[in-house]
Every structure is written in structure tokens, then in C-alpha cells.
Amino acid sequence: MAEIDLHLHTNQSDGRLTPAELITLVAERGLKVVAVTDHDITDGLEPAMAAAASHPQLTIIPGVELSTDIPGNEVHMLGYYIRYEDPSFQATLARFRDVRIGRAQEMVKRLADMGMPLEWERVQEIAGEGAIGRPHIAQALIEKGYVGGRQEAFDKYLGRNGPAYSEREKITPEEAVRLVASVGGVPVMAHPGYTDDLENVLTGLVAAGLKGMEVHYAQYDEKARAELAEIAERYGLIPCGGTDYHATDVEGEHLPGEIGPPMETVERLKALAGG
Ligand code: AMP
Ligand code: ZN
Ligand code: FE
Ligand code: FE
């Protein structure tokens, strides 16, 4: 068990727990520092911090995970210690969420064209008020019996290069780095092991101001983590990480704190915040 987990989702995006439920869980599991990192939304942060007030040993880092597409790949950018209240930042996130709606509708349309009609109202209902995403569509596909489970939905239809996938607004990973920095946050590349041609991508991102990348990531084995640690070191990037917990009922999902970075990582992130 780690004491730190810097990658957690709530029902404000595609996680299943409310921010308060997530905080209760991480407190019970003995975590000391966690970052709440919903996709393109920060509305979970204040309820999470309010819930953490009754757990004095627990610190919440305000975070976000921004989605970007590059040819053939998607890159997710985490931002830590963001001044999330910034009105212009919030307006940008609201625009990203609007784009997500159109994109989800497009994916639903493609699925219908492939003989798998879904009710849009049901997809919206699954997504709730926050940021809509592919896991919500996957859930609707499961309910209709078109697929047996979430992974099948991604493998067959919704994955980055799948037949129902629709790209989002073209914000580049570099723009995401700058957006995080514009609100005093520390930009960190999420799950870099999913990106082809990683070192080439990193070179551009470091030039744009990238400060860290995930190394201690739950879905990577020890060998992959060792390789990523070496790359992070070589590019001068702070090794971060966490479980990317969504509270899906998928068997074998890693629970908060099963893996995470050391306290030194938090100290280094904190030292860069606000700059
Ligand atoms: P979206 O925000 O709509 O792009 O969906 C991103 C989310 O979908 C990620 O946070 C993952 O939870 C999930 N996801 C993306 N790709 C896959 C995949 N290939 N297999 C399973 N889940 C995935
Ligand atoms: Zn997610
Ligand atoms: Fe991600
Ligand atoms: Fe995530």
C-alpha cells in the first residue's frame, strides 16, 4: 500500500463514487495525500475538500485530467495544484465538456449505423451532470446487451482507433500543458505507456513546460514502471502516479493507494506549484 495516490476519478466525470464517497474510501484506506483528477471538470474538488475536513491526516491536491488527441493516439494531461476557480479556466473546461456532448452523440450515431441503437437520454442519464465520456456509452452498450462488458465495448468499438470512436476538439498536448501552467498548476503526462513514440512526444512536451509523468501507475507491471522511471529521470520529469481509480465494478480494478509515488514526489510538485 502507498500513502499517496495522484490519479482518482469521481462521478463528476466517469468515476462512480461521489467525491464524498471517494474521500471516505481513501481515508479508510489510510491514504495521506490524494489528487482528485476528473476529466475536464473540477466540480468534484470542493465537495472532496469539504469531506476531507473531517480527516485531518488527509490532504487533497486540486487536480484535473485533460484529454487531447494526436494522430493515432490520445494523450491525457494531468494538472496538479491548479487555481481551479480561475474564470477563464472554468470557461475553457465548460467548452471542452460541450464538445464532449457532441462527440458522444456522434459515437452514439455511429453505433446506431452499425446496428446498435442506444437511447441518447439513457446515455445522458448514466453520465449525470458532469463530463460525459466513453465509459458512459460503454455502460449503455452493456445494458442493451450489445457487449458483455466494458473492455469488450472499448476493444470492439470505442477504443482510440475503434470504428465508433470520434475525436474531440483538437487541443494539442502542448496546449494542455500551457493551460495547466496558466492557472499555476504543474503539468504531468498521464499513463505515458499508452503513447506510441513516447520519447518524441516527450521532447515536445518538455519544451512546452511538462514537469512530470506517471511512473507508479497501477496498470503497469514492474518492468514497465522501471523503464518509465528511467525515461522520467532522463527528461528531468517528476515521477508521479496512482491508480486511476474509477470505482467501476470491473474485476481486478486497483483500489486507491494500491500503488503510488513517494512523498518526495508531492514535495517536488508542491515546490513547482504557483510558478
Ligand atoms: P473519454 O473521456 O470519453 O475519452 O474516455 C476516457 C476513459 O475511457 C478513460 O479514462 C478510461 O477510463 C476509458 N478508456 C479509454 N480507452 C480505453 C480502453 N482502450 N480500454 C478500456 N477503457 C478505456
Ligand atoms: Zn476516466
Ligand atoms: Fe486518462
Ligand atoms: Fe484517469
Give the model's pLDDT for residue 70.
87
Strand arrangement, sheet containing 33-36: 4-8, 33-36, 59-70, 73-80, 186-189, 212-217, 238-242
Q: How confident is the model at residue 170 (pLDDT cuts 50, 70, 90)?
A: confident
pTM: 0.96
Q: Are residues 263 and 131 in the same domain?
A: no
The answer to whether residues 259 and 242 touch, using CB atoms and an 8 Å cutoff, is yes
Q: Are residues 198 and 74 in the same domain?
A: yes
Rounded Cα–Cα distance for residues 242 and 15 (Å): 15
Q: How confident is the model at residue 275 (pLDDT cuts 50, 70, 90)?
A: confident
Judged by its nearest atom, the ligand closest to the C-alpha of residue 7 is 4
Contacts of 233 (CB under 8 A, 6+ apart): 239
- Stretch 147-164: mean pLDDT: 96
Distance (angstroms) between ligand 4 centre and the Cα of 273 equals: 21
Give the model's pLDDT for residue 143.
97
Distance (angstroms) between ligand 4 centre and the Cα of 6 equals: 10
**Mean residue pLDDT across the chain:** 96
Q: Are residues 80 and 103 in the same domain?
A: no
Q: Are residues 107 and 223 in the same domain?
A: no
Residue 24: pLDDT over 90: yes
Tell me if 220 is assigned to some domain.
yes
184-214 pLDDT per residue, tens: 999 999 999 888 889 999 999 999 999 999 9
- Stretch 119-140: mean pLDDT: 97
Domain's final residue, options 158, 185, 208:
158
Domain's final residue, options 114, 131, 158:
158
Q: Are residues 82 and 41 in the same domain?
A: yes
- Stretch 83-103: mean pLDDT: 96
Specify the CATH number for the domain of residue 113: 1.10.150
| Cell representation of residue 224 | 514497465
What's the number of domains the chain is made of? 2
Q: Are residues 182 and 234 in the same domain?
A: yes
Q: Which of 8, 13, 14 to mutate to test the pocket of ligand 1 (most atoms within 8 A of CB)?
A: 14
Whether 37 is in the pocket of ligand 1, judged by its Cβ within 6 Å, is no
User: Which residues does residue 5 pair with via DSSP β-bridges, in sequence order?
Assistant: 34
| Cell representation of residue 273 | 506549484
